[in-house]
Amino acid sequence: MTLPDKGRSVPARYKTAVLQRRQLSPGTVQLDLVRPHGFEFTAGQKIRLYRGNVSRDYSLASAPTAPFLSICVRIVAKGVLSPVLGAAKKNDSFSFTGPHGYFVFHPSNRHPVFVATGTGIAPFASICRSGVSGVTLLHGVRDLKQRYYAELFNRSAKQYVACLGSRKNPAQGTYPGRVTDFLAEKLPPGDYDFYLCGRREMIRDATWIIDDRFSGARIYTEIFY
C-alpha cells in the first residue's frame, strides 16, 4: 500500500547546488550537493529533485550526519533529467523536496540481506554509512567497473557479493549469476529481513524466491524503475 509521508501533507522545498561531481563508473556519477540548513533525513530515504517542470526521485547515498548530500545517478541514454545531472558542474542549482519514503533500516533479530541492482545500491550506502554493519549485501552489476562503493561495503558488510549476471569468468569476490540466482541457490536457509532496491523485475523475482525459500522473512522494497 502507499503511505502518506509522515505527518506532512506538503513537503518542504529546498534549494541546493552542486559541490562536486565524481565519476563512479562509466555511466554513473555521484553528485555531492549543498545540504540546506535544517534538512534532516533517515538513512535510506530519498529526495525529489526538480529542474524546471521535471522532477525525479533519488535516494540519498550519504550518511544522515554528513555535511553534504550525495546522490548516485545512472545516466540513462535519452533520459530527461539524468543526463543533465551527469553533466552538472559545480554551483549548478536545483531544488528538491524531502525527505520522502519509508525504505529505512529496521533492526531486528533476523539477519539483514540487502539486494540491489545498479544504482539501487545508493540507499544501502547511506544505511551502512549511518553505522549499520554485519549485513549480507548482493549487488547486481553489469561488469566489475560498476562495483561502486565496494570499499565501504567490504568494510561494513559481513558478506558483500557483486553478482555479475553472466555465468562466465567469475572474478574474485563475485558471483557468476544474477542476485536472484544467488538468493535461489546460495543463500543458506535462515531467518532474514530482505531489503530489495532497484529494477522492478528483480524485486518481483526476488520476492517470489523469498516466498518459496524463506517463509517468515520480512521484505522491504524500493522500486527505482
Partner 1 sequence: MKIYTGSGDRGKTSLFSGERVSKGDLRIEAYGDVDELNAMLGALAATAPPEAPELGEEIRRIQSDLFHLGAWLATTPDSPSAGMLKKLSEDAARLLEADIDRMENGLPALTGFILPGGHRAAAWAHVARTICRRAERRVVVLTERENHAEPLSAVLVYLNRLSDYLFVLSRHINRIAGVEDILWKP
Ligand X SMILES: Cc1cc2nc3c(=O)[nH]c(=O)nc-3n(C[C@H](O)[C@H](O)[C@H](O)COP(=O)(O)OP(=O)(O)OC[C@H]3O[C@@H](n4cnc5c(N)ncnc54)[C@H](O)[C@@H]3O)c2cc1C
> Where do contacts with ligand X occur on this chain (CB under 6 A)?
46, 56-59, 71-74, 76, 79-82, 118-119, 122, 222, 224-225
Q: What angle do CA 138, 139, 145 make, to 5 degrees?
A: 145
Q: Looking at residue 170, what DSSP letter applies? A: P
Min dist. Cβ of residue 87 to ligand X (A) = 12
- In angstroms, what is the C-alpha Rg of the chain? 17
118 binds, among partner 1, ligand X, none (CB under 5 to 8 A by kind): ligand X
Told to check if 90 binds partner 1 by CB under 8 A, we report no
**Nine-digit cell at 184?**
535461489
Looking at residues 34 to 63 of the shown chain, list those that interact with partner 1 (rule: CB under 8 A): 57
Cell 561494513 found at: 156
Residue 170 near residue 164 (C-beta atoms within 8 A): yes
Which residues have CB under 8 Å from 123's CB, separation 6+?
43, 44, 45, 46, 59, 60, 61, 103, 197, 222
Min dist. Cβ of residue 72 to ligand X (A) = 5
147 binds, among ligand X, partner 1, none (CB under 5 to 8 A by kind): none
Which residue type is seen at 209? Answer: I
Min dist. Cβ of residue 205 to ligand X (A) = 17
Min dist. Cβ of residue 10 to partner 1 (A) = 12
Residues that bind partner 1 in the complex, under the rule CB under 8 A: 1-4, 6-7, 9, 57, 102, 104, 106-108, 193, 200-201, 203-204, 207-208, 210-211, 215, 217-221, 223-225
